[in-house]
Amino acid sequence: MDEIKTEWFFIVNPRAGSGKTMSLWVPAEQKLQKLGISFVTAMTDHKRHATELAMEAAGQGYRRIIAVGGDGSLHETLSGIARYCDENGTAPSEFTLGVMPIGSGNDWIKSLGLPNDLDYMISLVENGSTGQMDLVRVLSSGGKVSYMANVGGTGFDSHVCNRVNLQKESGKRGKLIYLDGLRYTITHLSPINLKVVADDQPVFEGTCYSVALGNGRYSGSGMRQVPNAEIDDGILDYMIVPKVKLKTIVKEIPRLFNGSIDESGAVISGKCRSLRIMPLDEASADIIELDGEIEGTLPLSIDMDGRKIHILKG
């Protein structure tokens, strides 16, 4: 590795935000230059490219790395930093991660309590204003290692994300695709049979529709499946939706958006430092999503090991 660099390293996804990235990023870049902020820029040109660029930047000595895009760009960038740390024994706390929010969801920003505003984020860069975030390392089927900044899950949660991503790949954009994904998944999803163990204690075993896990609070363009999650408390929040009648699920949907789902008698929620989700049959080895991206299949294992990364935060 080269010597530690003080410049900011921006990883720009030109396809984020319904293709509006460059029209927003160019004036933001000009403002950074006028402020005298030292930075370099790299452009992504394919899926997962931000992960590669972040790993390369870390290897070159950059320690302040910002994704320019949405939650997917942020997820990929975090993955690159975390993989570099795991492979080289570097403490994630050496790094500062941020995002210039140009995306369709921007749920990570909501979970941090920050405005979806480029000028505000530039002011954080200028002032070097940071906080901390837990580094969530996820182990899934076949020993695959992934990382999560915000919210993830399996079952209903992961299939909504899969539906949304398929629509994005077909060229559709906007917040309505999240509502479409929600409606479609409710009417098409089959329940799965799982065992969930939190802090070595079984908390659920049987048929369910979904398990959500959260470091942050918001997902799916404003849903709050884990409304009490704190991004820096060293604890993972979870929410399980056991199999119930469809009309019960539909009735509870408003709770997903007003932050009261944990008060519903139709779900099981809690907090833990370690979580295991195990399928009880082959058909229940469902897909997993992390920060809106499909990242493998069950079983899933998470241990909050106390590692943290610095983040841009007011």
Average pLDDT in the 194-212 region? 97
Residue 174 banded pLDDT, cuts 50, 70, 90: low
The residue among 238, 253, 272 whose CA lies nearest residue 154 is 238
Domains in the chain: boundaries: 5-128, 138-306
Residue 170 banded pLDDT, cuts 50, 70, 90: low
Average pLDDT in the 13-42 region? 88
Spatial contact of 146 and 140, defined as CB atoms under 8 Å apart: yes
Alpha carbon 60 to its chain's center: 25
Looking at residue 223, what is its pLDDT? Answer: 87
* Amino acid type, 12: V
Of 3.40.50.2000, 1.10.600.10, 2.60.200.40, 3.40.50.2300, which CATH number belongs to 138-306?
2.60.200.40
Average pLDDT in the 161-175 region? 72
List % helix, strand, coil for the chain (3-state, nearest 5).
35, 35, 30
Average pLDDT in the 235-255 region? 91
pLDDT tens string 103-112: 767 899 999 9
- CA angle, residues 94, 145, 237, in degrees to nearest 5: 80
| Superfamily of structural domain 5-128 | Probable inorganic polyphosphate/atp-NAD kinase; domain 1 (3.40.50.10330)
| Average pLDDT of the residues of the chain | 92
pLDDT tens string 279-310: 999 999 999 999 989 999 999 999 999 999 99
Looking at residue 212, what is its pLDDT? Answer: 96
Q: How far apart are CA 77 and CA 69, in angstroms?
A: 10
pLDDT tens string 104-141: 678 999 999 999 999 999 999 999 999 999 999 999 99
pLDDT tens string 95-104: 999 999 987 6
Instruction: Compare 271 and 20 and report the one with higher pLDDT.
Output: 271
Q: Which two tokens stand for residue 173?
A: 């954009």
Q: Is the pLDDT of residue 40 over 60?
A: yes
Average pLDDT in the 36-51 region? 96
Q: How far apart are CA 42 and CA 226, in angstroms?
A: 34
Q: Is the pLDDT of residue 36 over 70?
A: yes
Spatial contact of 192 and 157, defined as CB atoms under 8 Å apart: no
* Amino acid type, 181: G
pTM, full prediction: 0.93
Q: How far apart are CA 294 and CA 77, in angstroms?
A: 15
